Structure 1
């Protein structure tokens, strides 16, 4: 499942290309929750490729509903285009995804990919690489359910350890105190 904005930065055409590479996987559905400027083009491309039963656009929902969508997903997808600026950022959804306890499939470079790898909470492939994304999805699908659950729990533990608000405030206060000395 992909949840969030469908814009140019998310590189939705490459996700659709990966879905096309996996069109013969009988138990695979790509659920896209959200919408945005690239949404209409994405729906057209899915129709052009004949992937309507494989890529499902669920539409836009309030953020309060996201935990229920996350809970129903087998894995959560995050992607950013292959541009230098995007390699410097960790998309906010990475933290939300890791906190959900579900495995993360990432198609991005730089800091976001580093966090996914470091957390053990998923698999990350290069931005803009449909074949690598498809292979990472295949890898997760081939894993036993118990192993995917372990990966999800590793991501949750990492999120709690590294992104806990109180812990981050304490670190920030410590750095400020060091600078004052």
Structure 2
């Protein structure tokens, strides 16, 4: 079975369904080709070793990867972001038009724009497609303040519904997403819940023994990920600033459009126990997670995020570390079910502060929490389990 995988996000960027996933699909008998663009996320600049150009072909483990041009910008401008998505829509469709016809298209990230391309391709060439929903648009745009509920919101909503209607199958990352799509009229039998997994779930050796996290504190909490509006980390920083006397610090690893604002906020409130360590490649971040005592997850207090599962949860559970979870809804439920940490309410400084104190009181149980989380990950969220579900869905499209 020939599968064309379309994603604006792909290795060497951190991508859950990236090269590792496609190599597993190869083992299942799929012949895979990829259309993507040049790596730039989350720093907003093309990665070293790459140069933005109209077309580039690579081969990795027998998988042909076609990189096409897209507009790349680190700006918070709505126009720049829209141009980034739209340019990839155009160039990826042109690439599809000159490629050999696949048996199925897997539209990954961002789901709406790749889904539109796959929908048009289906109309023109009759190729079925699966759309993988990692963000519920336009809800996610409203939740992060990117787009208000006006004319453009309505148009994006209609495009999303068009993609759902055209798709032959829909993969979602949570039970909450499945319920939301059913409410939007997507047939339940057309939707599969496939938890995301950690892209490097086997783990990697943390090379060297040198300390990479801040020293001078008894306890080190770590947040690793994007620094954007959805993550809303100001309340987390504020909560940790109240815990200086507990000899606890927060190390923030990552980059994003909100970084400068977060640094300024930390300075303005005197959060001397909060450190910004910058962007660290996915290949090297394991060292930071290994040295952490507790790993932190936070999202903005929005109804949408109560039904989502941030991808860093899988990475954290896989690392055998306890979690401080402040997302609410399904994400908090998972941590409680897995007995993997302590939960707080998002965007609630007092609640997060209390969760920090509770976590410190339970220090003797940290190892047990970490092992329990890893066990939950292996049984419920592993790549092996996810690939089985996706292969099953794709095989059904052949019937």
- TM-score normalised by structure 2 residue count: 0.42
Q: 1:60 to 1:172 in 2, by over 3 A?
A: closer
- Aligned counterpart, 1:36: 256
- Aligned counterpart, 2:240: 19
| CA distance in 2: counterparts of 1:18 and 1:101, whole angstroms | 24
Shift of 1:9: 0.7
Higher relative contact order structure (alpha carbons within 8 Å, sequence separation ≥ 6)? 1
- TM-score normalised by structure 1 residue count: 0.90
Contact in 2 for aligned 1:21/1:131 (Cα 8 Å): no
- Aligned counterpart, 2:361: 142
| CA distance in 2: counterparts of 1:66 and 1:143, whole angstroms | 26
The worse-fitting range, judged by mean Cα deviation, of 121-130 and 75-84 is 121-130
- Aligned counterpart, 2:225: 4
Q: 1:36 to 1:172 in 2, by over 3 A?
A: closer
The number of equivalent residue pairs is: 178
- Aligned counterpart, 1:167: 385
Shift of 1:170: 3.3
- Please tell me the root mean square deviation across aligned C-alpha atoms, in Å: 2.1
Gaps of 5+ in 2: 1-221
Partner deviation per Cα, 1:6-41 (whole Å, 9 max, x = no partner): 11111111111111222322x201100112111111
Contact in 1 for aligned 2:227/2:257 (Cα 8 Å): yes
Contact in 1 for aligned 2:253/2:277 (Cα 8 Å): yes
- Aligned counterpart, 2:29: none
| CA distance in 1: counterparts of 2:363 and 2:258, whole angstroms | 34
- Aligned counterpart, 1:90: 309
Q: Secondary structure at the match of 1:64?
A: coil
| CA distance in 2: counterparts of 1:144 and 1:10, whole angstroms | 26
Q: Secondary structure at the match of 1:9?
A: coil
Shift of 1:89: 0.8
Contact in 1 for aligned 2:238/2:271 (Cα 8 Å): no
Q: Secondary structure at the match of 1:63?
A: coil
- Aligned counterpart, 1:47: 267
| CA distance in 1: counterparts of 2:261 and 2:383, whole angstroms | 38
- Aligned counterpart, 2:319: 100
Which protein has the bigger strand share?
2
| CA distance in 1: counterparts of 2:322 and 2:368, whole angstroms | 9
| CA distance in 1: counterparts of 2:355 and 2:256, whole angstroms | 26
Q: Secondary structure at the match of 2:284?
A: helix
Q: Which has more radius of gyration?
A: 2
| CA distance in 2: counterparts of 1:45 and 1:144, whole angstroms | 29
- Aligned counterpart, 1:117: 336
- Aligned counterpart, 2:203: none
Q: Secondary structure at the match of 1:8?
A: coil
Partner deviation per Cα, 1:84-111 (whole Å, 9 max, x = no partner): 1111210000000000000000111112
| CA distance in 2: counterparts of 1:20 and 1:169, whole angstroms | 42
Gaps of 5+ in 1: none
| CA distance in 1: counterparts of 2:245 and 2:251, whole angstroms | 16
Q: 1:162 to 1:21 in 2, by over 3 A?
A: same
Shift of 1:175: 7.5
| CA distance in 2: counterparts of 1:18 and 1:76, whole angstroms | 15
- Aligned counterpart, 1:151: 369
Q: Secondary structure at the match of 1:11?
A: coil
Contact in 2 for aligned 1:12/1:38 (Cα 8 Å): no
